[in-house]
Structure 1
């Protein structure tokens, strides 16, 4: 499988745009983004360790909290609130790394149904400042995003 993930980080801006085309129907991709049993199979796939989903309610006003543990047992927790869940085409939620509280991003994910049964995934993440966005990039976010979307592709593109 070839990684077709595109990550756009323009200098002087507060956003990151991630796109990828999945060889799967939009409904299947949306389910993998909103069903906690499926999210656990691909989210945080940037390295060895495990993922615990302690909260996950994909509905307007619902919350999520995911805890990644690395091979040494160190925990990295992420949380957010769902602001819009429009099946099967759009998700809007906040994203915050608990290790750096107060640095909250707004993530808008759109799923476009393509004519050939594939789905175009576009995620726009908007940060509170250019410094916050640049800090996210410096943290290795690009590697984690690519690895997670690769695992998501494996999940939705199989049978």
Structure 2
């Protein structure tokens, strides 16, 4: 995928590698890597954007550092809870996060996830790569509706970054889509 693709800059692209148990998610944001990375690692910000709009999120722990761990729960209107947990293996500020990801409802389905933050000169491209145990596990993840949660979460992250106040003076609110 080259930078001359005809996709919209802030379009979320979710691609399953054909013969590998890998999902690649790519998204650009109108904010520098420092702000996007902070939104990924600060639990006070993560709770504001991660996941579908219809679910409430509770963070039990979120220690985004090498060797740290996390656990959070999404709660539906009917009280149904969906828990997730994992370990941060590498947290390289403004560049990269490597972590495991496990859904409590499928405890044998641990995936390894890598997020890379690419500086586009005031904007950021995040490329996430999830490696699962098998192609069947990858396909089950895709059929779970994860695409809705990812897309809505990234829309919410756009909104957060547009209104987030920090040491960055230039706030970009136009998404170009």
Same fold per superposition (TM over 0.5): yes
Task: Give the distance between the partners of 1:12 and 1:137, measured in 2 at CA.
Answer: 15
Instruction: Tell me, yes or no, if the aligned pair for 1:47 and 1:70 is still in contact at 8 Å.
Output: no
1:40 aligns with 2:43: no
Partner of 1:134: 139
Post-superposition offset of 1:37? 0.2
Structure 1 residue ranges without an equivalent (≥5): none
1:17 aligns with 2:24: yes
Match of 1:50 among 48, 52, 56: 56
Deviation per residue, 1:74-112 (Å, 9 max, x gap):
100000000000001100000000011110000000000
Tell me which structure has the larger Cα radius of gyration.
2
Paired residue for 2:120?
A: 114
Deviation at 1:48, TM superposition (A): 1.5
User: Is the partner of 2:65 in helix, strand or coil?
Assistant: coil
Aligned match for 1:64, one of 47, 66, 70: 70
Distance in 2 of aligned mates of 1:34 and 1:95: 15
Aligned with 1:145: secondary structure?
helix
Q: What's the Cα RMSD here?
A: 1.2
TM-score, normalised to structure 2, is 0.85
Contact 1:3–1:150 (CA<8 Å) still a contact in 2?
no
Q: Secondary structure at the match of 2:59?
A: strand
Displacement of 1:157? 2.8
- Sort the Cα spacing of 1:3 and 1:73 in 2 relative to 1 into closer, same or farther, 3 A: farther
**SS at structure 2 position matched to 1:153:** helix
**Which stretches of structure 1, 4 residues or more, deviate above 3 A after TM superposition?**
none
Which residue is equivalent to 2:82?
Answer: 76
Q: What is the alpha-carbon distance in structure 1 between the residues aligned to residue 100 and residue 37 of structure 2?
A: 17
- The count of corresponding residues between Structure 1 and Structure 2 is 156
Equivalent position of 2:168 in the other structure: none
